[in-house]
Each structure stands twice: as C-alpha cells, then as structure tokens.
Amino acid sequence: MTITRETMEAALKKTREAIEGTPTTPEPSFEAEPVAPPEPWFAPVKTGRKSKGQVTLSEIIQTKCVPNYKFSVYDCPDELKKYIPKIDKNFVPDKEYALALLQAIDMNETLTAYGPPGSGKTETVAQICAWLGRPYIFLSGMGGTDPSDYIGMNTIEDGDMKWCNGDLSFAVENGLVCLFDEPFKCSATTLMCIQSLIDDRRTLKLYGQTDMDKATLPAHPEFRLVLADNVRGVGDNMHKYAAEVQDQSTLNRSMFKVKVGYPEADVEVAILKRKNPTAHPEFLKSVVATGGLLRKAWEEDSLSLPYSLRDTNNFVRLAMIEGSAAAAFRKTYFNAASDEEQLIMKKIWQTVGFQGERL
C-alpha cells in the first residue's frame, strides 16, 4: 500500500477522534477567540475572630505595602491587658518576618524564627502583639532546667497539695502569645511539652500533677507559640550562633520557618535616626558602614563577636553623650575583642574614616 498525503491525514484525523471522543473540525480557525480570565486560586480568608478593629501591615512596618494585608485587633480581657506590650514607633520590624508572624497568629499556627543575635527576633514578636492588642509573655530556654521551671509544680498550702502554674502553663491556660527563646537549650522532657502544643493535640502535659484529671491542660483557643533561636539546625555555622542543634521533631511541627537577618544599610540608618533624632546623618551612615564591615568579618570568621543593631544603637547613644565616636566604639564593642581582632577593627575604622578620629 502506497502511503500518500491523503492517507496520512485520514489516519491523523482518526487518531484525534479516538483521543478526543468527537470528530475534529475540518479546518482550524486562525481568529483569536476571547479567553475568559482564569478563576483565582486563592481568596481572602475570613477568621470571624472576636475583634475590635483592624491593623494593616503598612501601619506596623511604617512602609507602604502592596498588597496591604489587614489583621484583626484582639479584644483582650481586662485582667490580661497588663501583659500587652506598648507600641514602640521607633522600632521598624523586618517586613517578611512581621508578615509571617501576623499570618501565624491569624492562622493559629506555630512559627520558628532563626538568625544571628540582635536581629530583632524577640522584639518583633513583642511589637506585633502590641499592634494586635494581644497579651504577650517571654520565656528563655536554659540548660539545667526541668519542666517544672516552665509548667509549674505542686506546692503545699494550708496543709493541702495545690498546683501552681508556671509561665508556660499560665500562657496556655489564658491565651497569651508566648515567645520561647532558645528552647532547644531545655531538656528533652521540656521539649516534649512544646511538641504536644504544636501538633493537633494542642495540650500541655503537666508533669508532676498528681490529679490525673488535670494532668493534661488544653490550650486556650487564643494561645499562640513562637520559637526563636540563633540556629536553624544541622548544617548551620553553629559556632557563630549557639551550641545547640534544634530538635528536628519539634522544628517539623512548626508551620512557619523564617530566617531573620540584619536590616539593609538604608533601613538601619533610618532606624537609628528614629531612635537618635539629633544624631548627624553622616555619622549614622559611618556607623552603619562600620557595622556592615564588622559583620562581614564575623561571617568570614575573622571576628568572634557578632555586631547587631543593638550594638550600632549603643554606639550612637554613647557617642552622643561622649562627643567622641572612638571613645563610644571602644566602650561598646572594641574592648571586648582580642588583640588580634582589635587590629582588624582598627583597619575597618580607618577605612570608614570618622572624620580622622583615631581609635
């Protein structure tokens, strides 16, 4: 059988009909047909949470945002209002970190933040709570502690055994936002308490509670848990941040994982200007330039001391009092370094300049 163009086209037509289930049209049209816009994948989520208003992301980070997300302000019970932090408008949080925190709180999910010391991991959580009107509590993980240091213990009162809550159990029972800083320094038993709060159980095991009916504490619907640490886990440059590796089973239960770094130079200058309005702009630029070079040296293992936003602010504050940049730098950072590291710092100082002032 001779294969001709006609037989090939007929076979192709038959194949198309077999695939599509319907006869093909004789000839395709080359005129463009109107295409309906695709259906949006995502729609705004309505929480229905008890609220007394809204706050936008732009208000919190003091920068115009597109889209400008809105979040509910919590109607806090009167007895817990003393735990709401005060808004500090001189503090400008990192946009991505702030948004992730707002989303985690709104979605009732756990967030784990990691990054170098002094990068705003802790203060940002407090300020988010201030803007949302949420009661907040800070816990610090420490070696040598056991669950009773966080969840409480039995005490004797008037001859009777009585359970006394710790800070963590108080937060769980009353619906506070709890920031647990460096939790991986705690014992494995304490970490097990955290795991039961993060997963679907949403409970806190009260180790030592003799009343078995009360040994498991259900979390309040408004309780939120944020974990913050200087390392993410295996594979980090741990010698720079901390001596502990994050427990992976705990980390895996956290929906949000956010890396928090130091701010960009122009943002850091703006933050320092807010905190020190009388400081000369060129001096602030020199301080931030110095900080950037010190951080680079630290990342390259030339320096053992990190240099955070806290350090740059201390530098500026003391310089305004001393009337000397060199004196302020020596007292807030330089004197803590080894002789070898001080030589590196002097080279950085000379590179930046500081109007010829000698270190």
Residue 168 belongs to a domain: yes
CB 124 within 8 A of CB 61: no
pLDDT tens-digit profile of 10-20?
A: 655 665 565 55
Q: Do 255 and 269 reside in the same domain of the chain?
A: no
pLDDT tens-digit profile of 133-168?
A: 999 999 998 877 788 888 888 788 777 788 788 899
pLDDT tens-digit profile of 247-295?
A: 566 667 778 889 888 888 988 998 899 889 999 999 999 999 999 999 9
CB 202 within 8 A of CB 219: yes
Residue 336 belongs to a domain: yes
User: How many other C-beta atoms lie within 10 A of the C-beta of residue 219?
Assistant: 19
Q: Distance between alpha carbon 124 and the CA centroid of its chain, in Å?
A: 7
Q: Do 156 and 281 reside in the same domain of the chain?
A: no
Tell me the C-alpha distance between 241 and 306, whole Å: 9
Q: Do 248 and 104 reside in the same domain of the chain?
A: yes
Residue 72 belongs to a domain: yes
Residue 39 belongs to a domain: no
What's 218's domain CATH number? 3.40.50.300
Last residue of a domain, one of 224, 259, 294: 259
Q: Do 255 and 112 reside in the same domain of the chain?
A: yes
CB 204 within 8 A of CB 193: yes
Structure tokens at 297: 């040296």
Helix (H) or strand (E) holding 266: helix 265-275
Residue 310 belongs to a domain: yes
Residues 6+ apart with CB under 8 A from 304: 298, 337, 338, 341
Residues 6+ apart with CB under 8 A from 121: 97, 113, 114, 115, 181, 228, 260
With pLDDT > 90 as the criterion, what percentage of the chain qualifies?
Answer: 40
Residue 19 belongs to a domain: no
Closest CA to 198 of 170, 226, 166: 226
Q: Do 93 and 225 reside in the same domain of the chain?
A: yes
How many domains are contained in the chain? 2
Q: Which residue has the higher pLDDT, 351 or 30?
A: 351
Q: Do 348 and 200 reside in the same domain of the chain?
A: no
Structure tokens at 156: 């004797």
Q: Do 271 and 225 reside in the same domain of the chain?
A: no
Structure tokens at 87: 């808004």
| Residue found by looking up tokens 């038959």 in the block | 14
Q: Do 309 and 227 reside in the same domain of the chain?
A: no
Tell me the C-alpha distance between 307 and 315, whole Å: 11
Residue 195 belongs to a domain: yes
Last residue of a domain, one of 235, 259, 283: 259
Compute the radius of gyration of the chain from its Cα atoms: 29
Question: pLDDT-derived band of residue 188, with 50, 70 and 90 as boundaries?
Answer: confident
Residue 41 belongs to a domain: no
Q: Do 255 and 295 reside in the same domain of the chain?
A: no
Q: Do 306 and 166 reside in the same domain of the chain?
A: no
| pLDDT reported for residue 283 | 92
Q: Do 222 and 284 reside in the same domain of the chain?
A: no
Asked whether residue 202 carries a pLDDT value surpassing 50, the answer given is: yes
| pLDDT reported for residue 40 | 63
| Domain extent for 114 | 51-259
Closest CA to 326 of 298, 303, 301, 355: 355
Question: 149: left (phi > 0), else alpha (psi -120 to 50), else beta?
Answer: alpha
Tell me the C-alpha distance between 152 and 164, whole Å: 5
Q: Which residue has the higher pLDDT, 7 or 244?
A: 7
Q: Do 214 and 229 reside in the same domain of the chain?
A: yes
Q: 287-312 burial by CB neighbour count: b if 16+ within 10 A, else e?
A: bbbbbbbbbebbeeeebebbbbbebb
Last residue of a domain, one of 259, 275, 299: 259
Tell me the C-alpha distance between 19 and 8, whole Å: 17
The answer to which of 172-186, 227-241, 250-264, 295-309 has the lowest mean pLDDT is 227-241
User: How many other C-beta atoms lie within 10 A of the C-beta of residue 83?
Assistant: 17
CA angle 309, 311, 314 (to 5 degrees): 110
Q: Which residue has the higher pLDDT, 350 or 90?
A: 350
Q: Kindly compute the dihedral angle of the four CA atoms of residues 46, 52, 56, 59, in this order, to the nearest 10 degrees.
A: -170
In this prediction the pTM is 0.75
Question: pLDDT-derived band of residue 43, with 50, 70 and 90 as boundaries?
Answer: low
Report the chain's mean pLDDT, rounded to a whole number.
82
